Amino acid sequence: MGGTVISLDGLQIGTRDDLTKAMESKGCESSSCGSSDAPEDMDPATWEKVKDHPCYSEEAHHYFARMHVAVAPACNIQCNYCNRKYDCANESRPGVVSERLTPEMAARKVIAVANEIPQLSVLGIAGPGDSAYDWKKTKETFQRVAEQLPDIKLCLSTNGLALPDHVDDLLDMNIDHVTLTINMIDPEVGTKIYPWIFWDRKRRTGLEAATILHERQMQSLDMLHERGILVKVNSVMIPGINDKHLLEVNAEVKRRGAFLHNIMPLISAPEHGTHFGLTGQRGPNAAELKELQDACAGGANLMRHCRQCRADAVGLLGEDRGQEFTMDLVPDEVSYDPTKREAYRDWVAEERGERRAAAEAAKSETAGAVAEDAAAMLVAVATKGGGRINQHFGHANEFQIFEVDAEGVRFVTHRRCDNYCVGGYGEEDKLELVIRTLEGIDTILCAKIGDCPREDLEKAGITAIQDYAYEYIETAVSAVYRARMGLPAGIAASA
C-alpha cells in the first residue's frame, strides 16, 4: 500500500510508507492495544469484555446497540469545538442533546429501551458536559440501572481532568470501558484547543491549563490501564492544529496501554456557534482522515467505525432512535422484561459464527485466484446491521466502506450523508449529496435500487449492484472483486 499522503493543510508529510515506518519504531509493542474484530486477535478475557460492545469491537457493532443518557450537563473545561448552548434535534454530533434527564428518569428510559431494542448491550454516559466532573449524577444513574439490568455494560466518556478521583468507584461498579478524549500530548498544541479549564477552585488559561489537563489525562490513562479497564482514546483531528501531532498522540497512548485509538474529524460550521466554527477552522475531508488513520495503523488498533454520536443517541451505531424514547413516551413505571434480549443474544452467537466462516471462505477463494499485487478496490455497502447487505439504497443515510484486495476484505470506515441538518433539501439534492459522499468508490452494494439513481450513479462512475441482496458483506464484496478481476464470481450463497 504505497500512495502519497495528501498534504494536510500545508503540512507535507511524505508517503504513507514513511509515516508507517515512523510509527512502527515507537508504536504498539504488545497485544494489549489490538482492537480488531475477531476473537483470535486478542486474549480471551479481553474478547469477553469487548465482544458485545459496538464501540470497542468492529464486529460487535454489526449486532449490538448502545444508548447514551444525557445526565451529565456540567463540564470543567472549554473546548474550541464545543458550544454548550447549541441544540438541534436534527443534528448528530458529540455533545449535542435535546433533553436532559435526572438519574431516575434516565434509569426508566434505559429499561424502556431494553424492553424494545433487544440489541441493546451498552449504556454510556457522554455528557453533554463531562461525565466524570458531573460524577454524582453519572454514578447514581449507573447504580440505578445496574440494579435492574445487571448484564448491561456501563461505560463513560470523559476529558480525564476529574477522572483520577473516581477510579475506585469505577472498579466498584464493574465499569471496564472508559473513553478519554485526548487531543494533544504537547501542552503548546493544547493552548490552541482549550481556552480554559476549571481546576482546583480556579479558572486557568493558556499553557497552565493545557499542562494540567495533559498531566491529568496521562494519569487517568495510567490508572485505568493498571486496573485492567479498557481505554479508548478519542482524538479530534483539527487540520493545521493537531493533525500531524496526532501521530505522536497515537504512539504515546499506545505506549501507555490504550486499547483503541479513535481519530475523528472535527465537525465545524459557523452555525454551530463554536469558536472553531466562527473562526472558519475547517474539518478534514474523508481522504485526509483516512490518510492519517492509515499512517497510525501500525498495530491494527484504530477504531474506524465511529459515528460521532449524540450524547443522547439510542440504537445501533449509525442509527438514532432517540426520538422514539423521549421522556414523554416513557411510562412512569417500567419493569424489565429480559426475554427479547436473551433470545437475540442466542441468535447472535450462532449468526456471527456463520458470518465469520463465510468471510474466511470468501477470503481464501479470493487469495487463491487473484494476483498478489492486484489493485485494491473500494466498495460501499448499504446495511441496516447484522453484517449483511440489507438496506434499500434510498433509505441509506450512511454507507459502510470496505477495501478489498488479494489479502481479503477490510472494513475501512463509514461515510455519512446526514452529518448536518439537511432539512429543505429535495430528493435530487440528497442524491447529489450521496454521490459526493461516495467519491472514490468503485461499486455500491445494496438490497435494492431504483433505475433513476442507478443511472445517475453510473454517470458519476459508480456501479450499483443489487444482486447480492441479504448476503454477507464479505462474501459479496469478494465476489464483486473477483468478477472485476475477470475471474468467475463463484459466490457460494450463504444467506
Partner 1 sequence: MALKIIKSQCTVCGACEFECPNAAIKFKGDTYIIDPALCTECEGHYDAPQCAEVCPVPNTCVPA
> In whole angstroms, how close is the CB of 169 to partner 1 at the nearest point?
16
Q: Using the rule CB under 8 A, is 328 a contact of partner 1?
A: no
Contact present, 315 and 54 (Cβ < 8 Å)? no
Distance CA 4, CA 80 (A): 31
Question: Residues 194 to 223: which contact partner 1 by CB under 8 A?
Answer: 198, 201-203
Burial of residue 219, with CB atoms counted within 10 A of its CB: 0-12 exposed, 13-18 middle, 19 or more buried: middle
Q: Using the rule CB under 8 A, is 134 a contact of partner 1?
A: yes
> In whole angstroms, how close is the CB of 165 to partner 1 at the nearest point?
14
Q: Which stretch binds partner 1 (CB under 8 A): 130-138, 209-217, 224-232, 263-271?
A: 130-138
Cross-sheet strand order for the sheet of 196-199 = 77-78, 196-199, 202-205
List 315's β-bridge partners, or say none: 66
Q: Which residue in 2, 45, 85, 335 binds partner 1 (CB under 8 A)?
A: 85
Query: Is the Cβ of residue 74 or residue 334 nearer to partner 1 in the bound state?
Result: 74
Q: Which stretch binds partner 1 (CB under 8 A): 77-85, 237-245, 378-386, 441-449?
A: 77-85
List 154's β-bridge partners, or say none: 123
Q: Using the rule CB under 8 A, is 84 a contact of partner 1?
A: yes
> In whole angstroms, how close is the CB of 130 to partner 1 at the nearest point?
9
Q: Which residue in 29, 43, 136, 428 binds partner 1 (CB under 8 A)?
A: 136
Residue that the C-alpha cell 459526493 belongs to: 436
> In whole angstroms, how close is the CB of 270 to partner 1 at the nearest point?
19
Q: Which stretch binds partner 1 (CB under 8 A): 76-84, 149-157, 272-280, 353-361?
A: 76-84
Show the DSSP H helices in 370-411 as ranges. Answer: none
Query: Is the Cβ of residue 78 or residue 437 nearer to partner 1 in the bound state?
Result: 78
Query: Is the Cβ of residue 27 or residue 94 nearer to partner 1 in the bound state?
Result: 94
Q: Using the rule CB under 8 A, is 418 a contact of partner 1?
A: no
Query: Is the Cβ of residue 13 or residue 77 nearer to partner 1 in the bound state?
Result: 77
List 4's β-bridge partners, or say none: 15
Q: Which residue in 22, 38, 74, 489 binds partner 1 (CB under 8 A)?
A: 74
Contact present, 185 and 248 (Cβ < 8 Å)? yes
Contact present, 283 and 263 (Cβ < 8 Å)? no
**SS3 at position 67:** strand
Query: Is the Cβ of residue 74 or residue 369 nearer to partner 1 in the bound state?
Result: 74
Q: 362 Cβ partners below 8 Å, 6+ apart?
A: 408, 409, 472, 474, 475, 477, 478, 479
Q: 167 Cβ partners below 8 Å, 6+ apart?
A: 220, 223, 224, 227, 229
Question: Residues 100 to 129: which contact partner 1 by CB under 8 A?
Answer: 100, 129
Q: Using the rule CB under 8 A, is 75 a contact of partner 1?
A: yes
Q: Which stretch binds partner 1 (CB under 8 A): 73-81, 208-216, 310-318, 380-388?
A: 73-81
**SS3 at position 219:** helix
> In whole angstroms, how close is the CB of 158 to partner 1 at the nearest point?
15
Query: Is the Cβ of residue 105 or residue 146 nearer to partner 1 in the bound state?
Result: 105
Distance CA 60, CA 234 (A): 19
Query: Is the Cβ of residue 76 or residue 413 nearer to partner 1 in the bound state?
Result: 76
> In whole angstroms, how close is the CB of 249 to partner 1 at the nearest point?
25
3-state helix, strand, coil in the chain (%, to 5): 40, 20, 45
Q: Which stretch binds partner 1 (CB under 8 A): 131-139, 315-323, 330-338, 390-398?
A: 131-139
- Going residue by residue from 237 to 276, which x/- string records binding to partner 1, judged by CB under 8 A? ----------------------------------------
Q: 106 Cβ partners below 8 Å, 6+ apart?
A: 69, 70, 71, 141, 144, 145
Kindly write down the DSSP assignment for every residue of 469-487, as one continuous string: TTSBHHHHHHHHHHHHTTS
Question: Which residues bind to partner 1, rule: CB under 8 A?
Answer: 73-76, 78, 84-85, 100, 129, 133-134, 136, 198, 201-203
